[in-house]
Every structure is written in structure tokens, then in C-alpha cells.
Amino acid sequence: MEFTEFNFHPKVAAGVAAAGYVTPTPIQSRAIPTILEGRDVMGLAQTGTGKTAAFALPILHRLMNGSRGHTRALIVAPTRELAEQIHTEIGNLGKATGLRSITIYGGVSINPQIARLRQGAEIVVACPGRLLDHIKQKTIDLSHLDVLVLDEADQMFDMGFLPDIRRLLKHLPAQRQTLLFSATMPQEIRGLAKEVLRDPEMVQVDLVAPAVTVSHALYPVDEARKTDLLLALLEHTDTGSVLVFTRTKHRAKRLGEKLVKDGYKAASLQGNLSQNRRQAALDGFRDGRHQILVATDIAARGIDVSKVSHVINFDMPNTAEAYIHRIGRTGRATRSGDAFTLVTIADRAMERAIERTLGRSIERRSLDGFAAPTDTATSLTPSKTHRNSRGCQPTGKREYGNASSGKPASDRSKNSRGQRRFSGRPSKPAAASSAGQ
């Protein structure tokens, strides 16, 4: 299938061509024709599947007809980052259309948003809280709305936004098209779908199955040695951009600081940052100034950095769905990626839950000097002896770092300016240690 088969308005088709999209992704080939018919859609798709364009393109096509200067499409997203990402994609795809898109979210002044709303934007991408503020202050008029999109609905539920969504629905015209996207389908999202969708078409792509281009590995470790293990992994794995997840904001901040102290170009992204600092951390990660970004689940929502080579779960996520979301940041589109998870004895139940969700067991690996906690080691699937695609050390083959040098690994990897060898350069010991595949 080709994009030309959708018969988009020439100005929308121009956007597709400018973005360089040739073949629609599975969610796009399945959802776009239904959305173009005007039907409601329940899209079960995780981030990285092309779901943004799946709803953005038919919306742009629809808005080419009809009046301008009113809000006719509303896209509700759980985080500012995701809202910005959607807005950017709409801006790129809709460049030739003359349609205007704006973002609305909290943490920044409301006045510029009011000014832009007054100028008349046909597409509004909003987070629920600030959107309700605008509704209360009557600074947004949603009476002309044609299409509502609720994106990453399961995340909105996790973040406690469902009451806000229900409040919002009361202010929207009943006659509208509604598109609901979610990576997973917990009971609460089923309930929401029943309330908001009329005779929806269900479009499901890779339900809770991560991108097949991602390879997974677990690294059993004692809690107290996690930081050392992370440093060893970073040092001996050939990586591009690395996204590290921690359980709490505090841990993200501390770990980010530790990595910087150790010579890495790292930043942390957590809820306590001002919008400007969040944006600076994200921009730095996107353009490669920061090679490592340490984030919490919530802060990382909406991160769209297509070149993330490794996702490292410093702390195990709380749910299997969160694991899928996290690793959705690597292996996007056709790129391959690696997902490493540091696991302690306390994480065993979650390991099993994730393996059940993936439908297979995950390879256990360990680095010499980081033996698995004893009772974990005996109960786990035996580690495999093949290396991953980026030359990561297999279990028990040899010591990471050059044992004969007698220096701690952290000293050996620094160059003359005390900076790390890092991006794109496999460290010698790891490269030399590759085992048979």
C-alpha cells in the first residue's frame, strides 16, 4: 500500500511527501481509511507505530473543507512533551495546508495561549488541566469541534486525568468524530471507550508487543551495586543515545548528577524541573549534546527521539505496560535497539509479569564482578552465551574492563581530558570479548 491510495487533499499529500513517508505503517493503513469515512476509532497502538500521523493526516484532510478560524480538531494528550510532539508532527505534515495548530498545557503562562486562541487555530493539542482552565475562563470556544482525539488514554488514566476528561466531554458538541488511542486496554479505558465512542472500528496493532527490532536483557544485581553496574554497562557497550529510567524523581536527579560527575554528557528529566529546563534537557538529548537522559516514567512520556539506541531500566517499572512504554522509546520505526533492565531479588514477580506480556523469557546476562544475587541466580533461566548486536558481554566470558590493567574501569575509559569514550565507539575489551553467536 502507498500513501497515494488514500487520495489525500494535494496539500496534505505534499506534507506526506515532504516528511519522506512512502509506505503507511500498519496502524496507518488500517486506521486512515476508517477515519476518512468519518467513523469513530479505538486504536490500540503503542508509541513508535506511526499512530500520530494515523490520526493527523485524516484530520488535516477533513479540515481542508469547511470554515477556518475556529477550533475544529482537539487532541488531548497526557503530557506537555507529547503535546509538543504531536503539534510538531502536525506542523510538518500540514505545512502546505495553511491550517493552524497550537498547544495548550500548564506550567507556562496562559496569556500567549489566549492570544493564539483569539487569532483562531483550527487544531488545538492540549493537556487536560490547562484545557479545563481555558474552558472555565471561556477563552476557548469548542462549539465548532468536528474531531476529538484522546491520545495515550491509558497513560491519562494512570496520571489520574479521567475525571478531567469526563468533565471536558460535557463541553463538547455531541455530534463529532472521536478517536481514542491507547497502548493498553485496562478496564477503565474499556469503560471510557464505551462512553465516548459511537459504533467504533477497533484497530489493533501489536497489542502490548514491543517493536520486534528491540532486544531485551535482564541484569540481576544487588540494589547497592546498581550504579556501578550501570557505569560498567555504559562503558562497555557501544551505544548511541541512552535513555535511563528510574522509579522516582529524586533518583533520576541523583543518578543524572552522578553520571555527569563521572564524565558523561548526561541530563535528568523529572517533574520538578521548570518547563524551560525540561525543554533544554529534551533538546539537548535530541540534538546529541546529552548522550544520556535519566528520566522517570511520567517525565519521559512523549519523548520522541528516534535515535535512542538503548533503554536502560535502572529501576524495574511498576507494571508490564510501563515496561512496554519505556522500551517503545528505542527501536522506533525500523531502527534496532536494546533494552537492559537491572533487576534485584525484589523484582522477581515483575520479571515474570513482563515475560508473560512479551510471551517469552528474557535473556539473563551478568558482567564479571557483578555476580547475580545468589538465590536469584539459581532460580533464573540460564543465561545465554551470545552477545547482543552492540557487542555487550555475555555471561561469565571474561571480565569487563581490562583486568590486567589493574585499574578500575572508570579510570581506563577516560581520555586525556577526563571525558568518556562513548557514543559510537565500542570500548576495546567489550569488542574483543564477543562470544560465538
The binding site for ligand AMP (CB under 6 A) comprises 21, 23-25, 28, 47-53, 304, 306, 332-333
How many Å apart are CA 43 and CA 177, to the nearest integer?
A: 14
Smallest distance, ligand AMP to C-beta of residue 87, A: 13
Smallest distance, ligand AMP to C-beta of residue 422, A: 24
| CB of 167 or CB of 335, closer to ligand AMP | 335
| CB of 24 or CB of 240, closer to ligand AMP | 24
| CB of 113 or CB of 330, closer to ligand AMP | 330
| CB of 49 or CB of 178, closer to ligand AMP | 49
Smallest distance, ligand AMP to C-beta of residue 77, A: 11
| CB of 49 or CB of 71, closer to ligand AMP | 49
Smallest distance, ligand AMP to C-beta of residue 204, A: 15
Smallest distance, ligand AMP to C-beta of residue 194, A: 25
Smallest distance, ligand AMP to C-beta of residue 13, A: 13
| CB of 84 or CB of 235, closer to ligand AMP | 84
